[in-house]
Structure formats: structure tokens, C-alpha cells
Amino acid sequence: MKFEVTPVNDNAKETIELSDRVFNSKVNKNTIYEAIKNVLANKRQGTASVKTRRTVHGTNKKPYRQKGTGRSRAGSNKSPLWQGGGVIFGPAPREYNYSIPRKVKQQAVCSVLSMFCHNNKLTVLADFKQERYKTRDVAAVFSKVSGQKKVLYILNSDERENYEKIRKSSSNIPWLKLVNSKAINIKDLYYADEIVLSRTAAAEINQRYGN
């Protein structure tokens, strides 16, 4: 499909050819759910841990005699019923990581991009050269093309110097997040209010996911 490229400095308008498979496909909510759940699970540290009665430090001596005290029977002060005792069925260190098929991840990315495109929340921005490390310059560019809500800007990192200037200049803008087109995260895509693609990044994503 033909998609209009938004100019930066009042340049002539142009269009870019985008794949219907990537930007105009049917939205599959199930793959989006599975992909986001996978990302969140892989970020979990799994370090929560408690001590059971076996690992609690202390003596194994019986606290007091079995009969004649008037109190209930007790065999150890490590009992979960006692203060400072072990915990029953508490959490232990574990791995939450798991993998899902690569095609599911790709379909989820295409579904999210198509969803934003259908809702007119996706913009392809013409490539621009950042001459200096200046937050004001980057904010001026994006304030014209977005609503300043929660904007995700996907940029190609092939031009390393220009990429670093834009990345560092945008780090102080609270409503703008910059992401490398080679490391797209389905969670960042889904939870953004608007998605802005540079023209080069759009062409790269089009080629990677459209084939």
C-alpha cells in the first residue's frame, strides 16, 4: 500500500510503498498476548526466596517436655507455627524464561503495526540530520507530527553518529522514547500511544517482516 511520508523541513511530500502483510494485515490479538506475556516473563528475575523449617538457623532441640506443661505439643522452634520459624510453600528461586516460535513474534509485531495504522496512530517521518546535541531541536520536530502523549520513535542505527545525537538529544523528553529498528520490542510497540517510523526504519521493517 502507498503511505505518505511526513516531511520535516517543509520538503516536498513523498510516498513510500509498505507491505500489506506488515502494515495492513488482520490484527491477531492472541499472538499479541502471547508475545507480550513472553517478554514480561523473560524479564522476571525469579530471585524471591524464603527459608523453610529445614533451612532456618537454630537448634533441633525440643523446646519443652511433651506433657505436664499445659501447653500444646511442640517438637521444634523452627515450626511454621512459631514466630521466626520456617515458611510453608514459600517462593524459591526459579527461572521464568521460555521461548515462543519466531513466527509468532513476527506476526505479533505485524498485528500491532497494522492496528496502529488502522487507527491512524502511525507516522512515517522523513529522515533528518541532527547537527548537534540539542533536546530543543528534536522536541520541535516531534511536536509537529505527534500529540506529545507517549510517542515511540523507531530509528535505523546505520548512521551511528546521527543516531547517537538523536538518541541523546531525546533522552530528556518524557513523552518520547527512541528505539533501534533492529531491536524492536513488542511491549514498547503495544503500550505506545503513537508510533513514528523514520523512512529508513520503515523500509527496513517492511523488508524484514514483509518477506
pLDDT tens-digit series, residues 113-123: 999 999 989 98
DSSP 11: P
Sign (positive or negative) of CA dihedral 106, 109, 114, 117: negative
Rounded to two decimals, what is the model's pTM? Answer: 0.81
CB atoms within 10 A of CB 80: 13
**Structural fold of domain 2-42+99-210:** Ribosomal Protein L4; Chain: A; (3.40.1370)
* Boundaries of every domain in the chain: 2-42+99-210, 45-95
For residues 188 and 146, give the distance between their C-alpha atoms in angstroms, rounded to a whole number: 17
For each successive 10 residues of the chain (211 residues), what is the average pLDDT? 81 82 91 96 94 92 94 93 93 94 94 92 86 86 78 86 87 89 90 91 87 72
Strand arrangement, sheet containing 176-180: 14-17, 2-6, 122-125, 194-198, 151-155, 176-180
State the residue for C-alpha cell 531525546. Answer: 170
pLDDT tens-digit series, residues 134-168: 888 888 888 877 766 889 999 988 778 888 888 88
